[in-house]
Amino acid sequence: MRVINQSVKFLILLFVFSAGVMLFSPGFAAQDEGWQITRADYGFRSQRNDVTDILRDLISRGGVNGRVAVNNQTMGGDPAVGKDKSLRIFARNRRNEEREFDYREGGFIDAAMFVVRRDDRDDHRGDRDGGDRDHDRREARSLIIIRGFYGVQGRTANVTDQLQSMVRNGVLELFVNNANLGGDPAIGADKVLIVVYSYRGQEQATAVHEGNRLVIP
């Protein structure tokens, strides 16, 4: 009887330990907290770029192997050349509590720490699974436009398909203005074109202000 009781105790302890690991794992904690990105910027001191849209898009697709790299390539450029930069993420959970997450340049974000909205997942699943022929054509290109946004934070137009149609011989080149991007999504504002793309299998991002020329790669 004593042997049986010891076995039962061992199984109970094993179950409690396993449950504890599950409850306190980052992914489970993220789902419980429901951290949703409200704003994100990247740079050094006052030299910072708004990377909210870029980051939301990269995280909504789960990054690479569940992680998003923090560097000039993924964050759309270098806002402070020669400086040790950082990424600041401002987020809110289901209880309306706010928190700031800070990551150094060269670090990685665990995508599971943040909420992935259903509409983001559906949009990207459509991009990836939109038919065998389309998939094969996209895979054959060395440059794939994953996401394109034009405007200012809160007033942006999705220009992904338009940008992809402009790719010629594996290169995207255009003058960033309302005429080339289908209109003005934020009249009177200084707009930015944000492009998340894959070039030869590597995901990167870039941001170009209205009035300047974009060339990828």
Q: Which sequence spans correspond to the domains of the chain?
A: 1-33, 35-113, 131-216
CA distance 73 to 54: 11
Q: What is the pLDDT of residue 31?
A: 43
**Alpha helices (H) along the chain:** 2-23, 26-33, 52-60, 118-128, 132-140, 160-165
Q: What is the pLDDT of residue 166?
A: 92
pLDDT in tens, the chain (217 residues): 444 445 434 433 433 334 343 333 344 444 446 799 999 999 999 999 888 888 888 888 777 778 888 988 788 788 888 999 999 999 998 888 999 999 999 999 998 889 866 454 444 444 444 444 454 455 445 889 988 989 887 788 889 999 999 999 889 999 999 999 989 988 888 899 989 888 887 888 888 999 999 999 8
Alpha carbon distances (Å) from 153 to 19, 52, 101, 162:
41, 8, 20, 20
Q: What is the pLDDT of residue 202?
A: 81
Query: Quick count: other Cβ atoms within 10 Å of Cβ 123?
Result: 16
Q: What is the pLDDT of residue 140?
A: 43
| Edge-to-edge order in the sheet of strand 47-50 | 47-50, 36-44, 86-92, 98-104
Enter the pTM of the model: 0.56
